[in-house]
Structures are given as structure tokens and as C-alpha cells.
Amino acid sequence: MLKRRIIICLDVKDGRTTKGVKFQNNLDIGDPVDMAAEYYRQGVDELVFYDIMASANGRGPILDLIARVASQVFIPFCVGGGIGSLDDIRATILAGAEKVSLNSQAVKHPELIRDGARVFGNQCMVLGMDVSRDDDMPSGYRVYINGGRVATDLDALEWAQKAVELGAGEIVLNSIDTDGTRDGYELALTRMIAESVSVPVIASGGGGRPEHLVSVLTDGKAQAALIASMVHSGEYTVRGIKEALDKANVPVRL
């Protein structure tokens, strides 16, 4: 059986790691380079770095910071935020990323997924999705961009399927409603998307205890779980989380 992955997310604002709840009230929690090195030492499977202000501020990725983080980790490293062209993708990969995550820019320029997949391969192209419950949408969920600040007319399920058709090799599915709450993932949302696309879905938003990861990796059908607050707080370590998953018969790399 395929091993399930534990992925830690570093949300970065003005060069510092930050964390909020439901995309609001963000606090500075440390240096992303130091934090990346520590989580690599703990045995995390992958690392995701999101520049949460890049798209909103209309700028590209911070390549020197990406390179400094990449120098500390020898695991798959995904970078998102402000990547709006093939040149941005190329520069980000050359700075040390294995994958790029397109979120706002993918909505504004869907052809970037297709072109990026053609040039760099589907495995490099990750669709980032920030979604929130909305009964007006066919699936019950609406897509948001610019760090969750701007609502779109896109239905979450339709957009996920279209992005995979365009060439996205993976989806990071973040629930705005549960983000940072540590009350558990959006299982219905995760399961709906995971069962409707042919690529791995990474659940994001709401992980607070190991049992939340067990639920989303089994009932939620996710291939990986993204965590932030539960390890940033120091309450849990990667090793401790993996041991709990192993005890629950969820296959992980120990």
C-alpha cells in the first residue's frame, strides 16, 4: 500500500513564517529557514512554502529565501505564491523547489497549468485550492483567491477536475472554514475531491491532533495531510504524529 505523506506548511509573510486562523489574525512565529531545518531533522516527508502576500501584492516569488530554505532540506519541496509565468516556474525550480503550487495565478491564467506541465512535467505542477462552504455552488464549495480574500465564480469540484485535465499532478485542498482551527479537516470536501480526480489530494486546514490525520487519510481518502499549527506550537513532533498513524494502521514512513 502506498505510504501516506505528512507535509508541513510554512506560510511566509515579509520573509517570516506566519500563522493565522481562517486566514486572519496572522502572527509571526519564526524564521522559515530555521524551521525548515528542524522539520527536516524530525523526518517530515515534504515541505510546502507559501508566500501568502505575493499574489495580493502583485509580485513574484522571493527566490533568495526559497534557495536558503531549499539548502536545508533534502526532501520534496513545493513553493507557491506569486508564480505567474513559465519564467517564474523555471526560476523557482532552479532556486531549489521540486514542485510549484499555483493557486490565484492558476485561476487567472489556467493555461499556465497546461504550459507548465508540458515544459516541466505534471509532477511539478500542484494546484493549490482555497475553498469555503457556499450553498450557491453545485458542489457546496466556492473557490477563493488572493489568500482567501477574493471570492471567484468557480465551483470547487469543477475547478479541481478542470485543473487535472489541464495537467495538474497533485492538489493541495485547503478548507478556509477549518484553517488554523485545529478542530479537524473538512472530511466531506476532501473525500468528494479525492474521489473525483485521478491525482493525489493533499488535505489542508484543521489538523490539530493525530486522530484528525487518521480520519482524513482514511475516511477522507487523502493521499497526504498538510499540517502547520500542531507542530508550529511545539505540541507535536513529526515523529510522534507518524507513530500515532502507524499505531492506527495508516502506512507511513517511520
134 among known catalytic residues: no
Pairing of strands 141-145, 125-133: antiparallel
Candidates 45, 130, 155, 179; catalytic one: 130
Candidates 11, 51, 155, 179; catalytic one: 11
115 among known catalytic residues: no
Residue 37's closest CA among 81, 77, 95?
77
Q: Give phi and psi for 69, each to the nearest 5.
A: -65, -45
- Which long-range contacts (C-beta less than 8 Å, at least 24 apart) are formed by 194-198? 194/220, 194/221, 194/222, 194/223, 195/221, 196/157, 196/160, 196/161, 197/160, 197/161, 197/164, 197/171, 198/164
Q: Is the dihedral of CA 247, 211, 10, 205 positive or negative?
A: positive
Residues acting as catalytic residues: 11, 130
